[in-house]
Structure 1
Amino acid sequence: MTAATGPSDTRRTNVLFLMTDQHRVDTLGAYGNRMAQTPTLDALAASGTRFDRWYTPTAICTPARASLLTGQAPFRHRVLANHERNVGYLEDLEDGTFTFVEALREHGYNTGLVGKWHAGTVKNAAAFGFDGPDLPGWHNPVDHEDYLAYLAERDLPPYEISDRIRGTLPNGGPGNLLAARLHQPLEATFEHYLATRTIEMLERYADDFRSGARPFFLELNFFGPHLPYVVPDKYFDLVDPETVPLPRSIAETFQGKPPVQANYSAHWTFDTMPIETTRKLIAVYWGYVAMIDLEIGRVMAALERLGLTDETAVFFSCDHGEFTGSHRLHDKGPAMYEDIYRTPGILRVPGGPAGQVRTEFVSLLDCTATILDLAGIDPAPAVDSRSLVPLAAGEHPEWADDIVCEFHGHHFPYPQRMLRTDRYKLVVNPDSTNELYDLETDPDELLNVYSHPEMAGVRHRMMRRIYQVLRERGDNFYHWMTTMYDVGDVDHDPTQSGLDETTYAVAPA
């Protein structure tokens, strides 16, 4: 993608960035879930722009968050795995890497982050210029001193759980905790704490903004609805499991699919739990989303109370999706299904049209250039990002009709690249079978048609297109593809030997 130019005026807009973790797009009423209890986010979509084809650059927490921070695709910034399951990749951005937060501070912005960081190991949010409590890790740090002080000040009870839900691992051990009942009132939950701290920071930033001293960027990052879904009684029991529709991809057989998917299913213990447990997990997940929506509502009400609504752009998205039983899987991993790559994405900019729905392929990566654009800063250093401001403003610029995503491993190295078009999805798996899905006839991605003879034309066209994009980006994954697949005529020496004039192009007869 090419970066957009800056806005025509130099007015510096405030930005409120709301982010969740591991959030399915089909949990929101704005995206068609009639059973959803998400009035705050539905209202945000109704007052701004809902993006229907919003994708994560990679479905894993730390690399996706590093991409948001830098505007670089994961292969470029090279922070490719979570610290907790790191398989030898970089764990922190290299010194000197461009980040939007440092650019904002240099241009006079207050910059705050409350909640999940998880974009590096040694370098925390403060190292890049964010105000806010240091909250490391991938799940709610319920033993954090600031959270414990929050509870003590309000005479609220500590974290305690029961009704744990987990399966059985292949080796007979207990599976990962998937959900549990939390014995705390709503006011004591970590989510309520995060929203409270965000409102406190928003009030401080509002004073600076009104005085003319500084505009602000404020990011609220919830750790949920990432599993385990640990919520109080009201939300644990909010949705009747008997009313929950099961995902159709629960019929997954893994036939014709890369074997790693069946292995991941065993790791996440899906087949060791009755189907009623799957329904309950989905119900609790929806309850978790409803609870987070309520807390976002508190922050949005504070924005209105402080008179900042008309001068603040509001984003909502997440780092990636969640399986929650789809394809007999939980969490995320080496399977590039829509469940974890297509995510919610909502943006409201001051003066933009209300209730707009856009179908362009956009990415969490594009938020970086958008934030810079709103601040009147040249977004060019966010090299893999493109500003969404024209789309949110109702304009119709030329836009790519496909999107490329990538994956590098979780628990173990596992490289993948994906091309998504209007109808089809191609996934290149060097260690295994490639995948091709017709999302018009098979929206649940159950039938891999990569080897079907009638799909040869589609397969060849998409393989050549993804090869072209990877070469243009400088993603060296293309080297493997050069010798293994029909990538079309090649205008370079694929051996990189420099010893003769050979190219991979077929010589004329």
Structure 2
Amino acid sequence: MSKLAATFLTQIVLGFALATSSLCAAERPNIIWIMADDLGYGDLGCFGQKVITTPNLDRMAKEGMKFTHFYAGATVCAPSRSVLMTGLHHGHTRVRGNSGKTNPGAQALKEGDVTVAKVLQEAGYKTALIGKWGLGDEGAAETGLPRKQGFDYFYGYLDQTHAHNHYPDYLWRNETKEPLSNIVTPLGENGGGYATQPIHFSDDLFADEALKYVEENKAAPFFLYWSMVVPHANNERTRELKDGAEVPDYGPYEGKDWPNPDKGQAAMISRLDGYVGRMLDLLKAQGLAEKTLVIFTSDNGPHDESNHDLARFNPSGPYTGIKRSLTDGGIRVPLIAWWPGKVKADVETGHVASFADWLGTAADLAGAKAPEKIDSISFKPTLLGLEEQAKHEFLYWEFHEGGFKQAALYQGRWKGIRQGGPEAPIMLYDQQNDVAETTNVAREHPEIAEKISSYLKTARTELPEWEPRWKADGKKKKK
């Protein structure tokens, strides 16, 4: 081959490689993870809600895929978000509970932690967090600040107690406090309180910011983590005014013969539904719908902290328990995936997955390299209707409030829960035949109980900040 021919061939090969690389980059989706705060499995119409209207999310489910067996990372806020960010299950992730003001450093990601935002950032994605963070703050927890954990841009709340107040007197923009016009009565520490002159509702601001971010960054692949506060209660307002369902108006529930906390709870959920509708409409209008995967979910099960009537709304659906429970009502959450042209419309999947799987999934979609030692199995095959979907043998959770507890799901069917001590017998539930987890079948299936019991003893790595503190359950003495 002549030198001229060889040069020409090399140029062709390089040109093809560049074209292929550009094509792959162009095919990488924008990714939007939208997460409600304390929204129950049964709070959406498409998941069985009969009282609260959620037409936009119902439409999203009709146009996309509904996951019916999906789990949050934990039954409360901070550890669930830590699992989501790190791809490590509750016994391996950095933050394992809500430590609050007593030990803020224990509720912060550290230098060296690898988040989904870092993975996507290194793969060339622009990354933004809008809304509630809860994994880092100023002072002792500054190692977990969003822009130290892979986000290019941040607007919202750092501290979760501050986020109780839907009408705060400031929000953070990156590392700067940005004043708002709300007049706030402070209660406790960490920014808690409620507004006596409410003007700017934080989630309205977040919705505007999220849409603006998409419009301004539509030319390059982006990852937007839109972490809403609704329908979380303003706990301080509940204690002071007996109504923590803080919302600008009651919308379609204004005329209902209900107590105000009930109206407010329903209005918050319908309001967040409207935010999602605005985003989907924007993506279609901007020609981004076929280029963007949108996920909607919740950080844990429903709360009972607004003084509203749980029986009116049945927010846990067919499952037992709420936030702070390790039964499925506290950890099973709705999840909807929407990606026109890629995710088939009006599909329901029972694939068992959890927040820990998000890092692996996002990396898979972006063509990025995920860390090797994570608890994440990509559910991209399920999203795209491919046949080879790997599955977990176990999923794991723990809870540190009121005495340490553990739970595991085995083979997507058997739930084991342990409390009272490391040698206490587990309670075993067959979710295939008892979704409400009402009957302990450990005696009927001793081999399954022993399998889960053995797993629970090895499921977690030790962290000094999160040492198990077992509480006697009446059958076992505290050791």
Shift, 1:354, TM fit: 0.9
- Provide the residue aligned with 1:426 in structure 2: 416
How much has 1:239 moved relative to structure 2? 8.1
Match of 2:132 in 1: 116
Task: Check 1:458–1:80 CA distance in 2 against 1; reply closer, same or farther (3 A cut).
Answer: same
Out of 289, 293, 299, which is 1:309 matched to?
A: 289
The C-alpha deviation readout for 1:387-414, integer Å capped at 9, x for no partner, is 111101112335437642311313x552
Q: Which amino acid counterpart does residue 332 of structure 2 have in structure 1?
A: R
Residue 435 (str. 1) matches residue 457 (str. 2): no
- 1:146-174, CA deviations, whole angstroms, 9 ceiling, x for partnerless residues? 7997966xxxxx3689xxxxxxxxxxxxx
Output one character per residue of 1:425-466: Cα deviation in whole Å (capped at 9) or x when no partner: 221114367433344665444x4525xxxx524243133145
Which amino acid is 2:231 matched to?
P
Give secondary structure in 2 for the equivalent of 1:292: helix
The alignment of Structure 1 onto Structure 2 pairs a total of residues equal to 397
Matched, 1:222 2:263: no
RMSD: 3.6
Q: CA deviation at 1:77?
A: 2.5
Shift of 1:98: 1.6
Equivalent residue in structure 2 for 1:192, among 204, 210, 225: 204
Uncovered stretches (5+) of structure 2, i.e. residues with no partner:
1-22, 186-192, 235-244, 305-309, 469-479
TM-score, reference length from structure 2: 0.73
> Retained in 1: the 8 A contact 2:78–2:95?
yes
Q: Does 1:70 align with 2:86?
A: yes
Shift of 1:362: 0.7
Structure 1 283/107 Cα, relative in aligned 2: closer, same or farther at 3 Å?
same
Structure 1 stretch 460-469 or stretch 13-22: which is displaced more?
Answer: 460-469
Select the residue among 416, 433, 445 that pairs with 1:458. Answer: 445
* 1:69 aligned counterpart, secondary structure: helix
Hey, what does 1:346 align to over in structure 2?
336
Which stretch has the larger CA shift, 456-465 or 295-304?
456-465
Map residues 181-330 of structure 1 onto 2, 5 A cutoff: 188-206=200-218, 209=219, 214-228=220-234, 229-235=245-251, 237-238=253-254, 240=256, 281=261, 284-324=264-304, 325=310
Structure 2 Cα separation of the partners of residues 67 and 137 of structure 1: 17
1:135 to 128, 137, 157: 157
**For the residues of structure 1 that align with 2:80 and 2:228, how far apart are their CA atoms?**
15
- How many Å apart are 1:308 and its aligned residue? 1.0
CA contact (8 A) 2:253 2:266 kept: no
Higher mean displacement: 125-134 or 44-53: 125-134
Tell me which of 361, 369, 376 is aligned to 1:378: 369
Helix, strand or coil at the partner of 2:111: coil
Distance 1:95 1:380, change over 3 A: closer
Gaps of 5+ in 1: 1-7, 153-157, 162-178, 243-276, 481-509
Aligned-partner Cα distance in 1 for 2:48–2:439: 27
Following the alignment from structure 2 to structure 1, what is the Cα–Cα distance between the partners of residues 252 and 322?
19
Query: 2:168 touches 2:180 (CA, 8 Å); kept in 1?
Result: no
Q: Which has the higher contact order (CA 8 A, sep 6+)?
A: 1
Report if aligned partners of 1:104, 1:372 keep a CA contact under 8 Å in 2: yes
Cα distance between partner residues in 1 of 2:457 and 2:61: 33
Q: Which runs of 4+ in 1 moved over 6 A?
A: 146-151, 179-183, 326-331
In 2: Cα distance, 1:146 partner to 1:86 partner? 22
SS at match of 1:383: coil
Match of 1:18 among 34, 47, 50: 34
Deviation at 1:43, TM superposition (A): 1.6
Answer whether contact 1:361 1:400 (CA < 8 A) is retained.
Answer: yes
Measure the CA separation in 2 of the matches of 1:97 and 1:32: 38
Bigger drift between 215-224 and 119-128 goes to 119-128
The aligned residue for residue 239 of structure 2 is none
